[in-house]
Amino acid sequence: MAERTLGVVLYPGFELLDVFGPLEAFGNLPGMVSVTMVAAQAGPVVSAQGPRAVADHGFADAPRLDMILVPGGIGTRDVVEDRALVDWLAARSGAAEIVMSVCTGAALLARAGVLDGQRATTNKAFFQWVADQGPKVEWVRQARWVDAGKYVTSSGVSAGIDMALHVIARLAEHDLADKRAGRELAENLARMMEYQWHTDADVDPFAKVWGLA
């Protein structure tokens, strides 16, 4: 399988698990996925929980990205107004094979305009605020994640791991032309992580909790 470069977008106030949950899966695929961290400038970026992650590249010198992962977090409330970030996402999304968001990261893709006319979902606790960022998006109120082809969006925090495993299965299925092999790869990763993979995208208990279903 051809190796793909995954760029993870960091900004002040990103949610830790939105980044490192999916990376636990993607990062265990040497030769299939190469991970790089990208922010406005290279260097440490503080998370919503306090620990910092280090960006390998700034927006200006980021390499070609086959896949993009946009985390959510309390910081989205500020960076939806960051024109440099939003414009970078708009430009880079066009050239990427797959663009993913976790939680309120969908708000940034919505502001970039790349989800217009697409089905998408987000964290159910902050659903309306995110939906307000993209009135032309077909927001799905009840979904663990939504696979709209190029754009794959997930509900809150831990749902990003389910989405990542789904994308991995999809990529392997495509590259190997073998649906069973893709599913087995994702299942093996989940087993290694001791993670119970929620494989049905439509099962979303938190939509009911937050009055969306």
DSSP character string of 25-50: HHTT-TTTEEEEEEESSSEEEEBTTS
- The catalytic residue among 38, 65, 69, 103 is 103
188-199: buried (b, 16+ CB within 10 Å) or exposed (e) per residue?
A: ebbeeeebebbe
Q: In tens digits, what is the pLDDT along the chain, a chain of 213 residues?
A: 689 999 999 999 999 999 999 999 999 999 999 999 999 999 999 999 999 999 999 999 999 999 999 999 999 999 999 999 999 999 999 999 999 999 999 999 999 999 999 999 999 999 999 999 999 999 999 999 999 999 999 999 999 999 999 999 999 999 888 889 999 999 999 999 999 999 999 999 999 999 999
Name the pTM for this structure.
Answer: 0.97
pLDDT at 69: 99
Q: What is the CATH number of the domain that holds 142?
A: 3.40.50.880
16-32: buried (b, 16+ CB within 10 Å) or exposed (e) per residue?
A: bbbbbbbbbbbeebeeb
Structural domain for 200, as ranges: 4-209
Total domain count, the chain: 1
**Residue 64: C-alpha distances to residues 24, 36, 60, 93 (Å):** 22, 10, 11, 11
Residues 6+ apart with CB under 8 A from 55: 10, 37, 38, 39, 41, 42, 43, 44, 45
- For the question of residue 103 being annotated catalytic, the response is yes
pLDDT at 166: 98
